[in-house]
Amino acid sequence: MAGEPWSETMKNIIEIDGHKASVSFDPELGMLRGEFLGLAGGADFYAANVEQLYAEGAASLKVFLEMCREKGIKPFREFSGRFNVRLDPATHQAAVIAAAAENKSLNEWVAQAIETAALAS
């Protein structure tokens, strides 16, 4: 099997050929569904079990990358590092206070919180 074995700590994320994919269960089909993250287009795949999911994912990714290469399309999304967050005003106030208590700007505090949470998953 390519990537790491399935586990609860992975939070439904698997890695295939160096690319992460989210995994869910499709009850209508009775199958596992994977979808690659960070691609400039859709590349999803289905399988009845985890072993097949890795194989189908590798095949789906290969086809997606080949199509991008043929059409001259960049296969991966580009991230600017900027995004807007909408919060409840009380949460916004609490975040400003928490950041100030750590002698940080709100941006520094939020960036660190996101980095900590994202790297833990």
For 92-109, the pLDDT digits (tens) are: 999 999 999 999 999 999
For residue 6, give both structure tokens.
């399935």
User: pLDDT by residue (tens digit) across 13-65?
Assistant: 999 999 999 999 999 999 999 999 999 988 999 999 999 999 999 999 999 99
Residue 12's nearest CA partner among 23, 1, 28 is 23
The contacts found for 24-31 with CB under 8 angstroms, 24 or more apart, are none
Is the pLDDT at 118 greater than 90, yes or no?
A: no
Which uninterrupted H or E stretch holds 66? helix 50-71
| pLDDT > 90? residue 10 | no
Confidence of residue 121 (pLDDT cuts 50, 70, 90): low
- Structure confidence at residue 22 (pLDDT): 95
State whether residue 64 is helix, strand or coil. Answer: helix
Share of the chain above pLDDT 70, in %: 90
Q: Name the average pLDDT for the chain.
A: 90
State yes or no: pLDDT of 7 exceeds 70. Answer: no
Long-range contacts of residues 43-49, Cβ cutoff 8 Å, at least 24 apart: 45/21
In the block, residue with structure tokens 């590798």: 58
What pLDDT, on a 0 to 100 scale, did the predictor assign at position 31? 96
Strand order in the sheet with 44-47: 13-16, 19-26, 31-36, 44-47
